[in-house]
Structure 1
C-alpha cells in the first residue's frame, strides 16, 4: 500500500500515545444535524455540496447575519474520534478507513505501473479533519501567477488574498521561551485573530530541529523569512492548526460548525448523503438530486431547490464528478456516459495536480545523539510515559507537536544554481500538447501552455519555491516534496456507472519530462544538505536511492520505483482560468456557460501553491463567501 510506505518514509511517526475519545471529546450540545434526506426542506437560498474545509467555511459566512438560508449536504458523518481530534502526529486519520473514501488510481505508466491510494476526507469537516495540521501558505509569486492568467487587474493575487489569509485564522504566537530557544521568527501583521480556526505553535521542540534549520543557512541563497506567512521562500518554523487551550485539532467543523449550525435556524446540515447531480432549467442551476451515501441506485433519490445558488465544495476529486454527472464537462465523455450535455466545458476534470512526495534522498544520521527525538515517542517507553503524563496534566510537551513545525521551501535557482536556467529553457521549448492525453481540447492545451510559460519564468526567479523538505529533529530525514509538478493528470466519470462508481483517477505522474530533470536536482540538493553542511558531523548514510546512484538516468529509474505522486493535496480539476484557456470557473468562481452555479474548493486552483494546501483553501473559501454575498 502506498500509504503505509508513506508512513515509513516519514520515519515511523505513529506511536502508542493515543488518547481516549473521552480525553479528546468536544461537546455538541443541542445539535440539530439532519441525518435523513426526508428531513431536508423543499428549498433554501443556497445549497452547499460538501461539508469540508471550504464548504463549512462558506456556509458559516453566508448564515452569520441570518439573512440567507443554507443547506450543507455532506457525504460523511460527524466524527470525533481520536483520529480526528488528536494533535500529536495528527495524520492518524489518513490511515483510518472510516474517515476516507476508498479510491485507487489507475496504474501509473511513469511509475512502473504502480497504483496509488487516493486519500480524500470523508467526514463533516473534510480533509481538514485528518490532515497533518501543517499551516503554511505559498509564495507571493504563486498567487500573482493565478491572477496573471486573467490580466494585471485581477484580484486573485497575493495582495488580493492576504486579507483572507488573515481572516481565516486566529493566530497564537509561540511562547517567548520557545521562540528564543529556537530562533522562531513570526510577524503578527501577516495574521488575524478573529477566526475560530486556530493556528498555534507546540509548547515543545525536539532539540535537533534547531541544528537542522541552522544547516539550511550554510547553503548559499537560502533565506530566513520574517514569518511563515510572509509569502517568501526560505527556511522557517510554522504553526499548526491546533487550538492551544485544549490542545486539540482546529478544523472547519470545530471552527465553522460546532456551536454555529446548532444555534442558527437558517443553517441546516444533512450528513450521510451523496449528491448525484445539479439540476438545471434553461442552463440555470435550480437545485440538486441526492441519495443516501450507501445507495447503489437512484431508487431513493430526493431533490432540493436552491433559490439563489448551488455551491460545489465537494473537493478536487468529486467536484468534477458531480459537474460531469450534471452534464457540465467534455461533451464526448458525457455522450459516452449517456448524459445529456448542458454545456460543453472541456476543462472539467483536466489539469489534475498534486504534490509528489519522496522525491529526494533519504538519510540516516548514524552518529545522532541529540535525544530525545520524535522516534523516542515509540521506542522509549519511559519518555513516552512522561510525555503522556505532561500532556494529560497541562496539554503541553512533546505530544503538543503535530506532523511537523519546521521546513524549507526553496526556489530551483537555490537548489540548482547551475541547471535552473537550462531547465526553464527546455520547458519553454516544449510542445505542451505532446504531454497531454491524445485528443485534448485546444483550450486545455492553450491553458497548459500558459502554465508552462508562467512556471518557466518562476523557475528562473527567486520568489517561487519548488522544493520542500520538512524536518522533524530526528535521525532519519530527507524525503522531499515537489511543489510545482509540470505533469497534469485527469479525473473523469466512469462511463459505465457515472453516479455510483468512484471517478477514474490518473495522476499521469512524470508524463512531462521536465519533472524528471527537476527531480534529479532535488536528489542532488538533498545530498548537499546532509553531506556538505554541519550535518555531515552526524554520520549521514544514504538509505535511498543509494550513494552509488549518481547518473540522472539511474536516479529517475529509482524514482519511478519509489516516488508517490500525492501528498494528499489534490487541486486543479475545475480551474479558475479564462474559458479560452480551459477554465471551468471565472474570477467570481461561477461555472462558465451556466448560471447559479459556483465552485469554491481546491479544484479551482489553476496550479499548486508552493506550500501545502490547507491554508490556501481556507483563504479561497473566505474570499468566495464575499463574492457570493456581493452578487446575492
Structure 2
C-alpha cells in the first residue's frame, strides 16, 4: 500500500497590523498622456505584474508602465471579507471566456474565470493563503538539473518576502487547536496573511476525525512544505478586515511618479527589432483591434504578466509560438516556440455531497442560514467591529482541507503512468519537444504517486454538517490555450482536454472512495450519522465512478497555469530559469503561466513568490549594470 494523495486543513484569529496607505502611484487615464518610452513595460496589472512594478520602482528612478485591461475598482465584492468570494460572482470583474466543448464531458463547456480588474485574480479569488509542498517546487528545478534555484529552498525566501504573516488571536489558537511556525513566514510585505476572529467548533472536530485514519499526519504550519493536515491563513488585512491583494499590497499607498498605470487598455502586440523586444502596441479595451493603435517603447524589457490565458495569446499575436499555428493565422514568425499555449493545466474539481445528520455542535456554519438568532448575532458582531462568523472569509466555509491518503492502487497507477505511450494523450500534431516535456512531467509524477511528499487530494470542509468539494491537485491531462486562427484577436480558444489521460479517472475515483471512507467508515465519524447523497452508495465500480465523473467533474478550480512553461527549450519550454523568453532579448514572462507542473495548492501565493524571485533577479541586474 502506498501513499499518493496529500492534503491541508485551513481556517482562520485577528491581530492588528498597519497597512501602507497614502497617495496611489500615478494613474494615466489617456494614452496621449504617456511618456514615449519607459525602462520597463509590464503587460498586466494583476498578482505578478503589480508585484514586479512595485519592486522595480522602489529606487525612485526606474520608470515602469503597467498596462491593464481592467479598471481600478472599489467594489464591495472585492473588498468585503464577509462572504469572501463575491468577486467570483461579479461578471464585471472577469473576462467573458468559455472553454471549447470538452469531448470527455459529453461536450460540456465551462467558464474560464480570469480577473479583469487592477489586482487581477488576486482581487476575486477565495483568499486562501496556501503553498504547495517542497516536492512541488523541487520538481520545477529538477527539469533543469540538480543545481537549479527553482526549488523549495530557492523559493522559500521569496515566499517569506511576498506575504506578511499575522498570527491568530490566542483564544482562537487555543480553542481551534491551530498551530503555526513563524519561521516559514515574513513580516515586511504589505500583502497580509491573517486569520478571522472566529472558528466553528465543527472545523476542529472534523479535522481531529482524520487523526485515526492510516497515513494522516498533522504538520506544524501550512507554509512548511510538508504534506499533512494543517490550518492556513487567509489573504486579509487584519486591521481593517478587508481583502489583502496585489492592489492593496503593491499599488495603493505608493507615491512614485516613476510608476505609472494605464487601465482599460489591451496590449495586442510586442514590437521587435529582429528578436529584441523594443515596445508594445495597444488599443482601448473596448475598441477595435485595428484602429486607434498606440505604441509605447521600452528601454530595457517588456514583461508579460497577463496570466496563463492571455500571456500565450500575446506571444502568439506577436509572432512567438508554434509556427504551424502562426502560419494558419497569417502571423509572421519571429521566434518559433512550439510550447507557447501548450502544457495547459488547472486543478480538477468534483462535487460530491456528504452530510453529517447528527453533528450537533453549536454553532455550525449551517446556523447562519437556519438559526435566525445566531445569524442576527453574527451580523451584529460584524457590524460592530468586523468580528465573529462573518470574518471567516472564504464564502463562510469553516475549513478547507487536504491530507495524505492511502490508496491501495498507488503503485499500480504509478506503473501504468510510467509505461504509457504519452504522446497518444496529447493532440495529434503536438511538437516533439512538447511531447518530450510531457514525458518528463509524467515520469516525475509517477514517482510522486508513490512518495509521501506530493499533494494529489484536497477536500473542502464547510465548518458545518456537510462537505463536498473534492480537488485533484495534480491532473495528468494537458490542454491548450491558442489563438483562433480565423480571428486571432478574439479571446483565445481554451481547451482543458480534461480526462484525456485515462489515469485521471482512476485517481479521482480513489479520491471519491477515500472521501466516502472518511465520512461513512471512520470510527471517529460514526456517531455523526453521515449520509452520502452523491454519487450514492450504489456507485461502487470503476466504471460507475467514471460515468459519474463525466456528469459531475469541473476541469477548473480557477488556477490556470503552464501555457508559457519554464522548462528547457528541448522539453517544450517557453522561458528559461530567469523567465526570459527563449530566442528573444528584452522579453520575460512573469506570472502563473510559467509554472511547468501545477503545485498542490491554490496558486496565488506561489505566483507572488515567482514575481518576488524575478524581481530580485532584475534588482541585482540593475545594481550590477547588466540591465
TM > 0.5 fold call: yes
Matched, 1:408 2:397: no
SS in 1 for 2:229: strand
Which of 107, 118, 122 is residue 116 of structure 2 equivalent to? 122
Which of 254, 264, 267 is residue 272 of structure 1 equivalent to? 264
* Deviation string, structure 1 residues 114-141 (Cα, Å, up to 9, x no partner): 0000000000000000100000100000
Partner of 2:378: 387
Once the two structures are TM-superposed, the CA of residue 384 in structure 1 deviates from its matched residue by 2.4
CA distance in 2 between partners of 1:461 and 1:166 (Å): 27
5+ residue gaps, structure 2: 1-19, 622-626
CA distance in 1 between partners of 2:94 and 2:50 (Å): 18
Partner of 1:13: none
Partner of 1:317: 309
Partner of 1:108: 102
* Deviation string, structure 1 residues 570-595 (Cα, Å, up to 9, x no partner): 00000000000000000000000111
Partner of 2:532: 542
CA distance in 1 between partners of 2:54 and 2:367 (Å): 41
Partner of 1:170: 164
Partner of 1:59: 53
CA distance in 2 between partners of 1:236 and 1:514 (Å): 28
Once the two structures are TM-superposed, the CA of residue 187 in structure 1 deviates from its matched residue by 0.3
Matched, 1:375 2:369: no
Provide closer, same or farther for how the CA distance between residues 370 and 449 of structure 1 changes in structure 2, counting only shifts above 3 A. Answer: same
Provide closer, same or farther for how the CA distance between residues 242 and 513 of structure 1 changes in structure 2, counting only shifts above 3 A. Answer: same
Provide closer, same or farther for how the CA distance between residues 30 and 364 of structure 1 changes in structure 2, counting only shifts above 3 A. Answer: closer
Which of 79, 84, 101 is residue 90 of structure 1 equivalent to? 84
Partner of 2:331: 339
Which of 516, 519, 529 is residue 530 of structure 1 equivalent to? 519
Partner of 1:179: 173
Partner of 1:295: 287
Structure with more contact order per residue of length (Cα contacts < 8 Å, sep ≥ 6) = 2
Which of 558, 561, 575 is residue 585 of structure 1 equivalent to? 575
Alpha carbons 1:485, 1:515 under 8 Å: kept: yes
SS in 1 for 2:469: coil
* Aligned residue runs from structure 1 range 441-520, under 5 A: 441-499=431-489, 501-520=490-509
Alpha carbons 2:24, 2:251 under 8 Å: kept: no
* Aligned residue runs from structure 1 range 119-158, under 5 A: 119-158=113-152
* Deviation string, structure 1 residues 195-218 (Cα, Å, up to 9, x no partner): 000000111001101111001111
Matched, 1:44 2:35: no
Aligned length: 601
Partner of 2:353: 362
Alpha carbons 2:25, 2:256 under 8 Å: kept: no
Which of 389, 392, 396 is residue 398 of structure 1 equivalent to? 389
CA distance in 2 between partners of 1:100 and 1:90 (Å): 16
- TM-score of the two chains, using structure 1 as the length reference: 0.93
CA distance in 1 between partners of 2:338 and 2:176 (Å): 50
Provide closer, same or farther for how the CA distance between residues 231 and 27 of structure 1 changes in structure 2, counting only shifts above 3 A. Answer: closer
CA distance in 1 between partners of 2:323 and 2:217 (Å): 48
- Further displaced range: 390-399 or 321-330: 390-399
Matched, 1:328 2:320: yes
Matched, 1:212 2:206: yes
Once the two structures are TM-superposed, the CA of residue 379 in structure 1 deviates from its matched residue by 3.5
Matched, 1:244 2:238: yes
CA distance in 1 between partners of 2:550 and 2:43 (Å): 37
- Further displaced range: 539-548 or 482-491: 539-548
* Deviation string, structure 1 residues 352-387 (Cα, Å, up to 9, x no partner): 00001116x420222232232223323333322221
Partner of 1:595: 585
- Indicate the RMSD between aligned Cα atoms, in angstroms: 1.4
Alpha carbons 2:78, 2:123 under 8 Å: kept: yes
CA distance in 1 between partners of 2:298 and 2:339 (Å): 25
Partner of 1:18: none
Partner of 2:11: none
- Further displaced range: 34-43 or 59-68: 34-43
Which of 594, 617, 624 is residue 607 of structure 2 equivalent to? 617
CA distance in 1 between partners of 2:25 and 2:453 (Å): 46
Alpha carbons 2:26, 2:256 under 8 Å: kept: no
Once the two structures are TM-superposed, the CA of residue 297 in structure 1 deviates from its matched residue by 2.8
* Deviation string, structure 1 residues 489-522 (Cα, Å, up to 9, x no partner): 00000112212x1000000000001101111100
* Deviation string, structure 1 residues 527-559 (Cα, Å, up to 9, x no partner): 011012222211111111111001000001001
CA distance in 2 between partners of 1:87 and 1:196 (Å): 17
Alpha carbons 2:81, 2:243 under 8 Å: kept: yes
Partner of 1:440: 430
Once the two structures are TM-superposed, the CA of residue 29 in structure 1 deviates from its matched residue by 4.5
- Further displaced range: 91-100 or 527-536: 527-536
Alpha carbons 1:240, 1:405 under 8 Å: kept: no
CA distance in 2 between partners of 1:577 and 1:593 (Å): 14
Matched, 1:234 2:228: yes
